């Protein structure tokens, strides 16, 4: 199997950051990738991570790294706002890219990156994880195999990064959105929660969202998001004529089948085996008939936690695309759908909570506001003048968090 040279920009400030987690996963997949170079503005972090993974080529200037190293893939793990100019520059230089979610801070900016990738024959994968957790893959397979019958409806409750939940249910429904009815409002709350990706600023107001989404196959999905978790954490359900699947995609998932007046519950069961004395997830299954089982394709590499397995799939997607010519698993088209749902919801709110056709026919007022806020905050347009922003410092609280309360 061909080993690709991958460079990583943005190493995270904490050992628990997603960047550090990704580096650990890449290092385990050394039959696919060699970490050829690292880039970060913090020299101490560069030296520390470079020594840990025995990476020789360390840079603080990403353009210089791209020009000198010419990696096969650049993994962009800087804060959300910084991904835009880096993706534009890398694609213009012909380097394949993996970026974190979302598609972009606006659809227009994301479309510009997608166009640059197409013009320069560049592959672009976007690291959406929730739909690639083992239990979610198992749900998708059972739905495809008609275990729960024809889908009637779906329900989603998400308290952090609703983009992830929308992606998971859209993949299970396996259809394209048709229209969205939405409501959104800033509501007063007590500041009781700190998220890993941003700190609440003490203004004691958070966005509350709720929506009804109709898909082209006739399925309706209801969605609700609050940043205060209350009694119920992230949770979603897909209901069919024969039963339903539900849970949080990690550790509360069940298959429920109707049997006359009874409901037969079948919890998802994870099985582990030892590798070098450590428990590693080997498979996940249920007692459905016929029995459905997911086997961990990364078991031999010691990759076990659901989110790390999703990382493995994301990295495999890019590798298979470049080496074998297979389609990117998620990419710009699916990522655009998931972010587009968020903008449809807010546009519905802005026009009096009316149904909005998907996709929106033109750029929304919220997108315009976010684009303007980005330029005011950082001093340049990330699409038209990306090189001017390469050495900028980007806040962890993205402009989409400031303008819309997302991510």
Mean pLDDT on 119-129: 97
pLDDT at position 196 over 60: no
Domain segments of the chain: what residues? Answer: 131-301
Q: Name, in order, each residue with C-beta under 8 angstroms of 271's C-beta and a sequence gap of 6 or more.
A: 281, 282, 283, 284, 285
- Report helix, strand or coil for 101: coil
pLDDT digits (tens, 9 = 90+) for 169-188: 999 999 999 999 999 988 77
- The confidence band for 80, taking pLDDT boundaries of 50, 70 and 90, is very high
pLDDT at position 157 over 50: yes
- The confidence band for 199, taking pLDDT boundaries of 50, 70 and 90, is very low
pLDDT at position 407 over 60: no
| CA 103 to the chain's CA centroid | 9
Is the separation of the CB atoms in 125 and 317 below 8 Å?
yes
CA distances from 168 to 131, 157, 165, 186, 403 (A): 5, 12, 5, 25, 24
- The confidence band for 195, taking pLDDT boundaries of 50, 70 and 90, is very low
- Checking DSSP bridges between strand 177-188 and strand 205-215, what pairing results, if any? antiparallel
Specify the pTM: 0.94
> Nearest to residue 154, comparing CAs of 234, 254, 209, 223?
223
The answer regarding whether domain 131-301 maps to CATH 3.30.360.10 reads: yes
Predicted pLDDT of residue 231: 58
Rg of the chain on CA atoms, in Å: 21
Q: Which two tokens stand for residue 386?
A: 């990306």
Predicted pLDDT of residue 391: 85
- The confidence band for 382, taking pLDDT boundaries of 50, 70 and 90, is very high
pLDDT digits (tens, 9 = 90+) for 282-329: 999 998 778 899 999 999 999 999 999 999 999 999 999 999 999 999
Mean of per-residue pLDDT scores for the chain: 92
Predicted pLDDT of residue 287: 83
- The confidence band for 204, taking pLDDT boundaries of 50, 70 and 90, is low
Mean pLDDT on 246-260: 94
> Nearest to residue 383, comparing CAs of 14, 40, 30, 107?
107
Predicted pLDDT of residue 203: 56
Mean pLDDT on 384-394: 94
pLDDT digits (tens, 9 = 90+) for 351-364: 999 999 999 999 99
Is the separation of the CB atoms in 96 and 124 below 8 Å?
yes
């Amino acid at each position: 199997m061909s080993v690709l040279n991958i460079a990583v920009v943005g190493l995270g400030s904490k050992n628990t950051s997603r960047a550090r987690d990704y580096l650990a996963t890449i290092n385990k997949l050394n039959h696919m990738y060699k970490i050829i170079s690292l880039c970060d503005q913090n020299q101490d972090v560069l030296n520390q991570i470079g020594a840990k993974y025995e990476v020789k080529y360390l840079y603080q200037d990403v353009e210089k790294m791209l020009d000198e190293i010419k990696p096969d893939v650049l993994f962009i793990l800087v804060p959300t706002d910084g991904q835009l100019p880096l993706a534009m520059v890398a694609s213009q230089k012909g380097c394949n890219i993996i970026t974190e979610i979302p598609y972009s801070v606006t659809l227009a900016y994301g479309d510009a990156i997608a166009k640059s990738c197409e013009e320069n024959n560049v592959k672009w994968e976007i690291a959406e994880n929730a739909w690639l957790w083992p239990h979610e893959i198992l749900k998708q397979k059972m739905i495809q195999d008609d275990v729960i019958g024809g889908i009637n409806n779906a329900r989603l409750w998400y308290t952090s990064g609703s983009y992830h939940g929308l992606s998971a249910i859209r993949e299970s429904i396996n259809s394209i959105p048709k229209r969205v009815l939405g409501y959104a409002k800033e509501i007063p709350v007590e500041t009781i929660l700190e998220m890993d990706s941003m700190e609440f600023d003490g203004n004691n107001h958070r966005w509350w969202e709720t929506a009804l989404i109709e898909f082209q196959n006739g399925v309706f999905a209801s969605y609700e998001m609050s940043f205060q978790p209350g009694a119920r954490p992230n949770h979603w359900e897909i209901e069919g004529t024969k039963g339903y699947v539900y849970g949080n995609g990690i550790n509360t998932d069940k298959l429920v089948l109707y049997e006359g007046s009874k409901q037969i519950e079948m919890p998802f069961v994870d099985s582990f085996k030892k590798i070098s004395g450590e428990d590693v997830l080997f498979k996940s299954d249920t007692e459905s008939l016929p029995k459905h089982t997911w086997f961990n394709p990364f078991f031999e590499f010691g990759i076990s936690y659901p989110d790390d397995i999703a990382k493995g799939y994301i990295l495999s997607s890019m590798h298979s695309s470049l080496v074998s010519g297979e389609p990117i698993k998620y990419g710009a088209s699916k990522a655009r759908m998931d972010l587009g749902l968020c903008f449809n919801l807010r546009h519905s709110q802005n026009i009096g909570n009316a149904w909005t056709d998907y996709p929106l026919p033109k750029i929304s007022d919220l997108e315009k506001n976010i684009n303007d806020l980005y330029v005011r905050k950082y001093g340049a347009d990330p699409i038209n003048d990306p090189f001017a922003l390469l050495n900028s410092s980007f806040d962890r609280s993205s402009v989409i968090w400031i303008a819309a309360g997302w991510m």
